[in-house]
Amino acid sequence: MVQSIENKVALLTGGGGGIGRAVAEKLAQKKVDLVLAGGNNIEKLQITAKIVEKYSRCLVLPGDLTDREFRKNAVKKAVSAFGKVDILINNAGVAQNCSFEDISEKEFDRIMDINSKAPFFLTQELLPFLRKSDQATVINIASVVAHAGYPMQSVYTASKHALLGWTKAFAREYYRENIRIHAICPGGVFTDMVKLSRPDLTPEGMIMPEDIADVVLFFLENRGNAVIDEISIHRLNKEPFA
């Protein structure tokens, strides 16, 4: 049965990016209030906020998600602005286009921190508030590289495997408390990121950010009794996992 998400509050990371903006718009259209948490590009966040504000309320909190204090304050500010948070979408991420032998320890830590550690601890920070919601849902935007491995993406691949790993553990640890968690594992989505990580891909046949937003909405509106750990999304016209 489809469950309304009207008047719920969602905290979304990476709201200034391609997938984040599409998700923000889709949820706002359903009258979900949005907290756009994290990001350095304030202009991009403001563009998303303007779109959201056509339909619902929006709080913009620029900053670095790898900073523990920022994460703590973002949760505090979200709750003080809207009184609650029902939905967390861990979408912010960084790609890599660099050989295994050229990756420095610093770069390894940066990619792992943004793609796996920050969403882990942001989820932990939000847990007390998710417990209070009757539709608590966490959605992690992983990638096909949570399963596969591509050249020039060794750390990105490791970070998304890690993200998917803790998502599965969390699903089993918290399902009795009615807190859902899902990982979405897309192939190439037509955003700025893919131009960096897969310059060989062309826009034709690429997944669109709106396709991912549709899947996010499906998870949020269709809770039922099924627990879905993850869903993989591949492009139509290329080999699987492209």
Ligand X SMILES: NC(=O)c1ccc[n+]([C@@H]2O[C@H](COP(=O)([O-])OP(=O)(O)OC[C@H]3O[C@@H](n4cnc5c(N)ncnc54)[C@H](OP(=O)(O)O)[C@@H]3O)[C@@H](O)[C@H]2O)c1
| Catalytic residue flag (residue 156) | yes
Give the residue with the Cβ less far from ligand X, 64 or 221.
64
Number of residues that bind ligand X (CB under 6 A): 29
- The residues in 30-49 that bind ligand X, with binding defined as CB under 6 A, are 38-41, 44
Give the residue with the Cβ less far from ligand X, 60 or 127.
60
Q: Which of 8, 10, 16, 116 binds ligand X (CB under 6 A)?
A: 16
Which DSSP string corresponds to 148-190? Answer: S--TT-HHHHHHHHHHHHHHHHHHHHHGGGT-EEEEEEES-BS
- Sign (positive/negative) of CA torsion 18, 23, 24, 30? positive
- The single-letter code of the amino acid at 22 is A
Rounded Cα distance between 41 and 128, Å, is 29
Give the residue with the Cβ less far from ligand X, 87 or 141.
141
Q: Which of 173, 192, 202, 227 binds ligand X (CB under 6 A)?
A: 192
Catalytic residue among 150, 156, 174, 175: 156
Residues 6+ apart with CB under 8 A from 165: none
- Residue 177 DSSP SS3: helix
* Tokens 């718009």 found at: 25
Helix (H) or strand (E) holding 9: strand 9-13
Residue 26 binds to ligand X (criterion: CB under 6 A): no
Residue 189 binds to ligand X (criterion: CB under 6 A): yes
Q: Which of 93, 123, 129, 155 binds ligand X (CB under 6 A)?
A: 93
Q: Which of 56, 91, 137, 154 binds ligand X (CB under 6 A)?
A: 91
Which DSSP string corresponds to 206-237? Answer: PBPHHHHHHHHHHHHH--SS----EEEE--SS
Contact letters for ligand X, residues 164-183 (x by CB under 6 A): --------------------
| Among the listed residues 191, 233, 223, the one whose alpha carbon sits nearest the alpha carbon of residue 8 | 223
Interacting stretch for ligand X, rule CB under 6 A, among 79-87, 120-128, 131-139, 185-193?
A: 185-193
**Cβ 59 vs Cβ 36: under 8 Å:** yes
Binding residues vs ligand X (CB under 6 A): 13-14, 16-20, 38-41, 44, 64-66, 91-94, 114, 141, 143, 186, 188-189, 191-194
Q: Which residues are catalytic?
A: 156
